[in-house]
Structure 1
Amino acid sequence: MASSPLVFLLLFCFLYGGDADLASDEAALLAFRAAVARSGLRTWNASAPGAPCTWQGVSCDRSRVVSLRLPAVGLLGPIPAALGNLTALHTLSLRFNALSGPLPAELAGLAELRSLYLQGNRLSGGIPDFVASLSNLVRFNLADNQFSGGIPLGLNNLTRLSTLYLEKNNLTGEISGLDLGSIVQFNVSYNQLNGSIPVRLRSQPASAFIGTALCGGPLGPCPGEIAPSPSTPAPAPASGRPGGGTETNNNRKKNKLSGGAIAGIAIGASAFLLIVLAALILLCRRRKARSLGATAATGSKGAETEAGEQRNRGLEEGSGGRNVSAAAAKGSSESSGAKKLVFLGGDAARRFDLEDLLRASAEVLGKGTFGTAYKAVLETGSTVTVKRLKDVSLPEQEFMERIEAIAAMDHPNLVPLMAYYFSKDEKLLVYEYMPMGSLSALLHGNRGSGRTPLSWETRTGIALAAAYGIEYIHSTSPSSSHGNIKSSNVLLTKSYSARVSDHGLAFIVGSNPTASRVSGYRAPEVTDPRKVSQKADVYSFGVLLLELLTGKAPTQAALNEEPIDLPRWVQSVVREEWTAEVFDVELLRYQNVEDDMVQLLQLAIDCVAQYPDKRPPMSEVAVRIDEIRKSSLGSSYRDQHDTPRSLEEDDHS
Structure 2
Amino acid sequence: MRFRSSLSNDSALRNWGNESNLCGWKGLLCRNGQTFYGLRLENMGLGGKVDVEALRELSNLTSFSVINNAFEGPMPEFKKLVRLRALFLSNNNFSGEIPDDAFEGMRRLKRVFLAENGFTGSIPKSLANLPRLWDLDIHGNGFEGNIPEFHQKGFRVLNMSHNQLKGQIPESLRDKDRSSFAGNKLLCGKPMIPCFNYSIPPHPKVSKSLTPDPYSPPHEKGKNNHILIIVLVVVAVVVFASIVALLFIHNHRKKRLQPLTPGRKANSQSSAGFKEGGFSLQDLLRASAVVLGSGSFGSTYKAMILNGPHVIVKRFRNMNNVGKQEFIEHMQRLGSLTHPNLLPLAAFYYRKEDKFLVYDFGENGSLASHLHGRNSSELTWSTRLKIIKGVARGLAYLYENFPGQSLPHGHLKSSNVVLDHSFEPQLTEYGLVPVMNRSHAQQFMVAYKAPEVSQHGRPNEKSDVWCLGILILELLTGKFPANYLRHGKGGNKADLATWVDSVVREEWSCEVFDNDIKGTRNGEGEMLKLLKIGMFCCEWSVENRWDWREAVAKIEELKERDSADDEYSSYVTEDDFSFSVTN
TM-score calculated relative to the size of structure 1? 0.46
Cα deviation, 1:556-600, whole Å, max 9, x if unaligned, reads 999xxx996111111110110153111000002413111111111
Matched ranges for 1:247-396 at <5 A:
317=238, 320-330=241-251, 342-344=260-262, 350-393=277-320, 394-396=322-324
- Aligned residue identity for 1:479: Q
- Aligned residue identity for 2:316: L
Structure possessing the higher radius of gyration over alpha carbons: 1
- Aligned residue identity for 2:390: A
Give the corresponding residue for 2:435. Answer: 508
Structure 1 220/497 Cα, relative in aligned 2: closer, same or farther at 3 Å?
same
Give the corresponding residue for 2:204. Answer: none
Matched ranges for 1:126-205 at <5 A:
none
Matched ranges for 1:489-568 at <5 A:
489-513=416-440, 516-517=443-444, 522-526=449-453, 532-555=459-482, 565-568=495-498
1:319 positional shift: 7.5
Cα deviation, 1:112-141, whole Å, max 9, x if unaligned, reads xxxxxxxxxxxxxxxxxxxxxxxxxxxxxx
Give the corresponding residue for 1:621. Answer: 551
Q: Check whether the contact 1:471–1:618 (CA below 8 A) recurs between aligned residues.
A: yes
Structure 1 194/383 Cα, relative in aligned 2: closer, same or farther at 3 Å?
closer
Give the corresponding residue for 2:194. Answer: 221
Give the corresponding residue for 1:479. Answer: 405
Gaps (5+ residues) in structure 2? 1-153, 155-170, 180-187, 198-222, 265-273, 486-491, 565-583
1:339 positional shift: 5.3
- Aligned residue identity for 2:452: E
- Equivalent pairs counted in the alignment come to 341
| Among 369, 381, 400, the residue aligned to 1:456 | 381
Give the corresponding residue for 2:165. Answer: none
CA distance in 1, matches of 2:448, 2:505: 22
Cα deviation, 1:236-279, whole Å, max 9, x if unaligned, reads xxxxxxxxxxxxxxxxxxxxxxxxxxxxxxxxxxxxxxxxxxxx
- Aligned residue identity for 1:324: A
Matched ranges for 1:427-442 at <5 A:
427-442=355-370
Partner of 1:420: helix, strand, or coil?
strand
1:623 positional shift: 1.3
1:547 positional shift: 0.6
Cα deviation, 1:85-122, whole Å, max 9, x if unaligned, reads xxxxxxxxxxxxxxxxxxxxxxxxxxxxxxxxxxxxxx
1:441 positional shift: 0.7
CA distance in 1, matches of 2:308, 2:544: 49
| Among 526, 546, 567, the residue aligned to 1:596 | 526
CA distance in 2, matches of 1:536, 1:367: 26
Partner of 1:613: helix, strand, or coil?
coil
1:491 positional shift: 0.9
CA distance in 2, matches of 1:338, 1:509: 27
| Among 507, 511, 523, the residue aligned to 1:577 | 507
CA distance in 2, matches of 1:529, 1:459: 34
CA distance in 2, matches of 1:458, 1:325: 37
Cα deviation, 1:66-94, whole Å, max 9, x if unaligned, reads xxxxxxxxxxxxxxxxxxxxxxxxxxxxx
CA distance in 1, matches of 2:413, 2:436: 17
CA distance in 1, matches of 2:425, 2:348: 23
Q: Check whether the contact 2:365–2:418 (CA below 8 A) recurs between aligned residues.
A: yes
Structure 1 358/468 Cα, relative in aligned 2: closer, same or farther at 3 Å?
same
- Aligned residue identity for 1:438: S
CA distance in 2, matches of 1:338, 1:398: 21
CA distance in 1, matches of 2:520, 2:384: 12
1:399 positional shift: 1.0
Q: Check whether the contact 1:555–1:563 (CA below 8 A) recurs between aligned residues.
A: no
Cα deviation, 1:501-531, whole Å, max 9, x if unaligned, reads 1111232224454763266982122369995
Q: Check whether the contact 1:343–1:418 (CA below 8 A) recurs between aligned residues.
A: no
Give the corresponding residue for 2:102. Answer: none
Give the corresponding residue for 1:421. Answer: 349
Partner of 2:530: helix, strand, or coil?
helix
Give the corresponding residue for 2:331. Answer: 403
Q: Check whether the contact 2:275–2:347 (CA below 8 A) recurs between aligned residues.
A: no
CA distance in 2, matches of 1:377, 1:498: 22
1:370 positional shift: 2.6
CA distance in 1, matches of 2:381, 2:427: 20
Q: Check whether the contact 2:341–2:426 (CA below 8 A) recurs between aligned residues.
A: yes
Partner of 1:585: helix, strand, or coil?
coil
CA distance in 1, matches of 2:530, 2:250: 49
Partner of 2:405: helix, strand, or coil?
coil
Partner of 1:479: helix, strand, or coil?
coil
- Bigger helix share: 1
Matched ranges for 1:100-139 at <5 A:
none
- Aligned residue identity for 1:344: P
Structure 1 227/626 Cα, relative in aligned 2: closer, same or farther at 3 Å?
farther
Measured on the aligned residues, the alpha-carbon RMSD in Å equals 4.2
Cα deviation, 1:307-326, whole Å, max 9, x if unaligned, reads xxxxxxx9995773322312
Give the corresponding residue for 1:38. Answer: none
Q: Check whether the contact 1:523–1:536 (CA below 8 A) recurs between aligned residues.
A: yes
Q: Check whether the contact 2:450–2:466 (CA below 8 A) recurs between aligned residues.
A: yes
Structure 1 519/598 Cα, relative in aligned 2: closer, same or farther at 3 Å?
same
Which structure exhibits the higher relative contact order, with contacts defined as CA atoms closer than 8 Å and separated by 6 or more residues?
1
